[in-house]
Amino acid sequence: MTTTSRLATGVLGLDEALGGGLLPGTLTVVVGSTGIGKTQFGLQFARAGAGQEGRPGILFDMSSRGDSQNHAHYAMRMFDWSLQSAEPDEHMDLHGFFDARRCYGDYLHVFDRAGRRVTRNDLDFDAWQQWQADLTRRLNAAIAFFYGNFTRGVCRAVIDGVEPVNRPGDSIQFELFEYIYHQILRKDPQWVARDLFRQEYRRNAADIAEHVYDTNRIGCMLLATSHETTLDSLIERPLDDGDVLSNANTVIYLGKIREGIRFRRAMYVAKHRGSACTDEVLPYRIGDEGIRLE
């Protein structure tokens, strides 16, 4: 695959509406309320990598409420895909990291305090500081998860479980996402390796040089939960300067629209830089195989 090839979304009919698909090396943000189909969308995008690049994408779950996203259940039901979980071990053994038999998993749930929100408004000062300290200790496992998979040819990363907040700066999830996006996904692979191996970098320099990958091939999809439930309300949202939506290449809203006496699900491509795309609202259904445009 060349860096100019589009990434298939996995949603039948959507690639045509996007002018051929998503652009590699860019960020796509999918926004919608709980239960609207974001996780299925992300899984379809990740799984499409198996057909297009020869390897499915990976999923990084930032939910702080256990496996509320049901990734494993959806993946098995939709694709007969058994997700292999990676452990968020802060003391990861890096010996034999490039062994071809080593598996880095395709799913990592970084938080382990189920039932706790992770915003400044929900935690006192000491609890907020403890969250940040706990997360910092797990960053090495997150770096290893992404870096290990990218060196094996994975070209897609889906980041799920972001809870709604009034200001992104109040959320440790957005703080973590900014780190992952800029310091792992878009960073030169050899500098990512330096962050991972640290004092062991020189000892592994030869292997690191043999496993350089092209960051311009990697597509990232962020799934963010919104307060808004209707598509009209999402479309009316302002894209504040510095907000993750304003920095994304593609923004897709999922919400409900009213048709007579009932509601139905629909999506709208709010932004898609570098390509022509549809201005239409696209109704969809969620079935056993995920999202399907109608």
Separation between Cα atoms, residue 228 and residue 204, nearest integer Å: 48
C-alpha separations of 109 from 61, 122, 240 in Å: 5, 21, 29
Which strands form 27-32's sheet, in the order they lie side by side?
85-86, 107-109, 58-61, 156-162, 219-225, 27-32, 250-259, 262-272, 282-287, 290-293
For range 63-84, the mean pLDDT: 83
Q: Which helix (H) or strand (E) holds 51?
A: helix 38-52
Provide the residue count of the chain: 294
pLDDT tens digits for 193-210? 999 999 999 999 999 999
The better pLDDT of the pair 111, 178 is held by: 178
pLDDT at 117: 56
| CA neighbor of 271 nearest in space, from 31, 35, 1 | 31
Number of Cα atoms under 13 Å in the Cβ half of residue 71: 25
DSSP SS3 for 131: helix
Which CATH superfamily groups domain 14-65+74-293? P-loop containing nucleotide triphosphate hydrolases (3.40.50.300)
Give yes or no for residue 216 having a pLDDT over 80: yes
Domain boundaries, the chain: 14-65+74-293
| CA neighbor of 290 nearest in space, from 52, 4, 74 | 74
pLDDT tens digits for 15-33? 999 999 999 999 999 999 9
| CA neighbor of 269 nearest in space, from 1, 23, 61, 95 | 23
Q: Which helix (H) or strand (E) holds 48?
A: helix 38-52
Q: Give the β-pairing of 282-287 and 262-272.
A: antiparallel
For range 221-225, the mean pLDDT: 94
pLDDT tens digits for 163-176? 877 766 667 788 88
DSSP SS3 for 138: helix
pLDDT tens digits for 118-154? 565 666 777 667 766 777 777 888 999 999 999 999 9
Structure tokens at 105: 């998993």
| Banded model confidence at residue 240, pLDDT cuts 50, 70, 90 | low
From 74-78, 237-241, 246-250, the region with the lowest mean pLDDT? 237-241
Number of CB atoms found within 10 A of residue 78's CB: 18
